[in-house]
Amino acid sequence: MTKEDLIKNLRTVPDFPIKGILFYDVTTLFKQPTVLKGLADNMYDLYKDKGITKVVGIESRGFIMAPILATKLNAGFVPIRKPGKLPAETIEASYEKEYGKDTIQMHKDAITEEDVVLIHDDLLATGGTMKAACELVKQLHPRKVYVNFIIELKDLKGREIFDDDIEIDTILSL
């Protein structure tokens, strides 16, 4: 599946969630089996030779492709969630958003020092959520951390806030 095919299947919603924002709705990439498979195959091709042992998905849209990719890579899946959603002992990271502070959590035993981790979310805009996710994962000292997005909004320069040791890949740059 080409990037042009993926873009054709991507829905844009003007003025959502607020006036002046053009929202890129990735759910339209998931509803057609051929598009979903093409997206999964494109992501798999980026990481098939990297030795990934865990794929981390960020709540909630990251929960869609991360387990699919984990299955294709023969890796485990780890959810990062909002506070109070995980039942066992957790670690957490907080970050600033445009309209306040937010916190994410992960199970303390989800990742080991032997793991090679891929963290996935749907969209890179300003990068705050993913930066916090990277900090959270790094607390557990994995061997390597990779980051993946379906879409990167290049004009927002979210990529610039990440440490140099984080390799970032996106399927679509808009």
Which amino acids are annotated catalytic?
A: 61, 98
Q: How many residues does the chain have?
A: 174
Q: Are 80 and 94 in contact (CB under 8 A)?
A: no
Three-state DSSP at 12 gives strand
Cα–Cα distances in Å, from 100 out to 17, 20, 26, 96, 103? 16, 20, 25, 6, 10
Q: Are 62 and 83 in contact (CB under 8 A)?
A: no
Instruction: Provide Rg for the chain, Cα atoms.
Output: 16
Q: Are 166 and 117 in contact (CB under 8 A)?
A: no
Q: Which two tokens stand for residue 109?
A: 């035993």
DSSP string, 101-127: EEEEEEETTS--TT-EEEEEEEEESS-
Half-sphere exposure (Cβ direction) of 129: Cα atoms closer than 13 Å: 21
